[in-house]
């Protein structure tokens, strides 16, 4: 009995931390007035990992896996929308545009790993 009470207390502490984190301490740039929070954003890599085609952050046509391996539309199709690095699925990358992009620039770190498909 005492043990389950202690477990419940631990759970309460953990969940209140999550609530606090998601509330006061979230600096997501999507919230107006929020601070840029680069650790928490998509990097938006500048090019396709396979063919090095430019993939601007404010245009559609980039595909990413959950680790942000980044591919163009054609390469994602050739890969069957499966990431060759991690095996995860490739999904259309959301765009970041205008003032949001200006305040939170996309990554300039090009990752180019050509491979035979
Ligand atoms: Zn490509
Ligand atoms: Zn991946």
**pLDDT (tens digit, 9 = 90+) per residue, 61-111?**
999 999 999 999 999 999 999 999 999 999 999 999 999 999 999 999 999
- Nearest ligand to the CA atom of 84: 2
Distance of alpha carbon 16 from alpha carbon 36, whole angstroms = 24
- Nearest ligand to the CA atom of 61: 1
Predicted TM-score (pTM) of the model is 0.69
Give the ranges where 64-114 is alpha helix by DSSP (H).
73-78, 98-103
Kindly report the number of other CB atoms within 10 A of residue 28's CB atom: 12
φ and ψ at 103, to 5 degrees?
-80, -25
Q: What is the pLDDT of residues 26-69, one digit of tens each?
A: 445 555 444 444 567 899 999 999 999 999 999 999 999 999 99
pLDDT at 117: 79
pLDDT at 53: 97
Cα(74) to ligand 1 centroid in Å equals 6
Nearest to 99 by CA among 24, 9, 36, 20: 36
pLDDT at 33: 46
Distance of alpha carbon 66 from alpha carbon 113, whole angstroms = 18
pLDDT at 59: 97
Cα(1) to ligand 2 centroid in Å equals 45
- Nearest ligand to the CA atom of 71: 1
Distance of alpha carbon 43 from alpha carbon 49, whole angstroms = 14
Cα(45) to ligand 1 centroid in Å equals 12
């Amino acid at each position: 009995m005492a043990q389950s009470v202690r477990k419940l207390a631990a759970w309460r502490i953990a969940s209140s931390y999550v609530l606090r984190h998601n509330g006061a301490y979230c600096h997501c740039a999507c919230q107006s007035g929020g601070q840029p929070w680069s650790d928490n954003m998509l990097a938006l890599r500048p090019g396709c990992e396979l063919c090095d085609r430019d993939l601007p952050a404010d245009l559609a046509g980039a595909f990413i896996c959950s680790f942000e391996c980044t591919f163009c539309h054609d390469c994602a199709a050739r890969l069957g929308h499966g990431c060759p690095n991690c095996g995860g699925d490739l999904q259309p990358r959301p765009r970041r545009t205008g003032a949001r992009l200006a305040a939170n620039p996309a990554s300039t770190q090009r990752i180019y790993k050509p491979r035979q498909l």
